[in-house]
Structure 1
Amino acid sequence: MTQLSVKPRKEPLLVRMKRFSAFYLFLLIPLAQVIIFNYMPMYGIQIAFKDYKMRRGINGSSWAGLEHFQKMFSDTTFYQVLGNTLRLSLESTLIIFPATVIFALMMNELRAGKFKRVTQTITYLPHFLSWVVVGGFVTQVLSPTNGVLNFLLVKLGILDQPVYFMIEPSAFDAIYILSSMWKELGWGVIIYLATISGIDPTLYEAASIDGAGRFKKVRHITFPSILPTVTTMLILQMGTIMSVGFDPIFNLYTPGTYSTADVISTYVYRRGLLDTKYDYTTAIGLFQNVVSLTLVLLSNWIARKATPDYRIF
């Protein structure tokens, strides 16, 4: 006799909301934040297509069509900051991203519990420092008058005289990458350590019985287990290729390093807030966000074609 399975009836949304009202109340604050700071500002996108005047407002300003986009693509300074943005983003992706994964694997292999906790604490703490503090610290370390780095390089005979690294365009990439890595590396490993903690311990026990060492366990068990997480984080990282953080650049660059350090976010800050070119900078921001969204969708499509389980949507 064929046994028929009965699909349980799904509760109406209002009933579920009443039953779990406490949990839904917790969602109100983040939901309001997303609506206020993410969705409501979308109304201002039309500024990119208008000759915006503050006294007339958004609705009262006349339409300019694609004038600001034409100006953007004919602006040599825009191409310079676009190149700087892409260069610094790619360097971060190629250096900091794999360094975070490697550091997480190394942290997992530490057996001394106390030493591991101390190491985690030391590497996590810089994340909670403001970039204003980090920028001041880096400036002091690289100072030509009382900086530790110049003192050591001169004493070791590597330099004949102190160098003001903060105004050297060629030195900015290294300053940005190293300071960003020092600040965020420890914080970035948290999600990978959380994933590693969910790996079945019997896999390691079976590997030990088969004579596998630490390196083989990492290669054949740990890394494949966190690969979906790594892929997801890489896809999300691709969405930031066009948006190097404003805070680190603003607190590390100087007028002497504009040629290599000026990125889209700092350029928009100067042209938009200081020069009051709101319509032009809105066009730049719209272009930046459209490209970022395209990169995320493209990365997810590639991941889906390669391995369907590694996609994020």
Structure 2
Amino acid sequence: MLRPFALSLILGLAGAAQAQNTLSDRVTLSHGSYSSGGGLTIAAELRPKDGRTALCGTWAQSERQSSYTSGTARNIVQLASVYVKGQRIYQDLGFMPQTAPRLDYAGAPARCVLTDLPWRAGRVPEVFLPRQQISHSAGGGSDRNITFRQTGAGAMGQGLELVPFLTRNSHLLRLAPGPTVAEGRYSSGGGVRLAAEMVSVNGNAHLCGVWSDLPGQVDRTAPLGHEILRRSSARQGGKTVLKDLSGLRRVRARADYTGVDATCLDTGAPWTAQHASKALSLRLPAQIVYRSTTAQGREVIRFQP
């Protein structure tokens, strides 16, 4: 149960919390994952308020996850608690608003509550997400034994295949020699490589291609490939022909993608001779893909094409 002063602060900000409160670049991330895939992330930070410490934050969950775990994230958030140097300062983070999963939570809409902790600069929140038994196996039945624990990629973790089975196998085409290739690197190591070409499929212009994770990645970046592709685009003749390339097929990294089975995405435009003659360019985003502040310091990872 919330203390009266915390409740009054929430009620006072209720009408404008999401519009006026946003997280800063000193945000701290905490991740939890389901054993079936997918999970949630809580982004929090501490701020001064009348000599005491205000706790601000937001949370997000994976867009795609098992039906067994759907609807359980909010309950987990309500069971979460926050510690500062081993001292619990708040329990039940249900006051935090839900937001869409993102790479960088700086600037994300947030809500704040006031705690009893006197303000001291340099402290960071440590969010504890309790282990949960989501479902129990019925012993040979269809039920799955699913648990939740504080680990993994959180809201960036995927519980289901991003490209549905029928879509993935309906328009496969082997890439011709010399497809357009683009790649980007994480500042922490490793990266993403993309290979694609424009092809006529049933009279429409399609972008056919594949992508690969490049070796050398750290745990923070390993699950981010699909999100990088979602923010990528294809341009031809100075115009964007397709946004969101996350439907392309993931394959093992290689130097030559000739002959690799690729997924084809419909651009919605009729095929013309210009599609074959104009150069294709693949645009990957340049941005911060991970940011978190811990007691040991701040970690920032960038992706650069």
TM-score by length of 2: 0.19
Please tell me whether Structure 1 or Structure 2 has the larger radius of gyration of its CA atoms.
Answer: 1
More strand by share: 2
More helix by share: 1
Greater relative contact order (Cα 8 A, min sep 6): structure 1 or 2?
Answer: 1
